[in-house]
Amino acid sequence: MSEYRFHLQKYKLGNRYACPQCGRKRCFARYIDEEGQIVFPDNVGRCDHEQSCGYHYSPSDYFKDNPDANCNDDWRYKTPIKECRKEKPLPTFIENKLMEQTLHGYSVNPLYQYISTVFGKEETERLFALYKVGTSKKWGGSTIFWQIDVNGNVRTGKIMKYDDKTGHRIKKPHSLVTWVHSELKLPDFTLRQCLFGEHLLTDKTTTKTIA
């Protein structure tokens, strides 16, 4: 990260803040200037919740909105911004054993309970096993959508709370959504998401629809 002048703060205890958009605590990383000449406002950074929030205000966005910022500093010529061209870090994987330990406990999984009333338990069990849908004890019982890539690596899992009577997500008083890697508090975790259900694409002999 140090070879790029502007980059997100490397994770350490106490340097994650509340997101200015979604308001969630300890999920917002701020950009810093490696040369220590420019101090960005607190809203220049990225939220960890890429899908549910998606907030990302980069240094280049900031300079576009504030062309006179640090006008005496020739940052554009001294050290070009490489944030758009830098190579993405390799993803961190979660142990398959941990994922497999969640593939039960469906008596407290509200989404499983609801789908069972629609398709029956036998078909619901088949689908949950096929897509590797797990159960979390979070919020008294929630659903884990594991993201397993085509090579069988577990990227992360998205934990969501559902209503077992309607099958709808719980969104009031706020959305109950989090990530497995966040709950585990894994240090220096690099999230690189993949398609949910991507592990089903290993069979090269059949044609499957990707939606």
Tokens of 161: 């709370």
Residues 75-116 have pLDDT tens digits of 443 444 444 455 678 899 999 999 999 999 999 999 999 999
pLDDT of residue 4: 73
> What are the residue ranges spanned by the domains of the chain?
1-87, 96-202
pTM of this structure = 0.59
Distance CA 55, CA 150 (A): 28
Q: What is the average pLDDT value for the chain, to the nearest integer?
A: 86
Residues 42-68 have pLDDT tens digits of 999 999 888 888 899 998 888 888 876
124 burial via Cβ count (<10 Å: 0-12, 13-18, 19+): buried
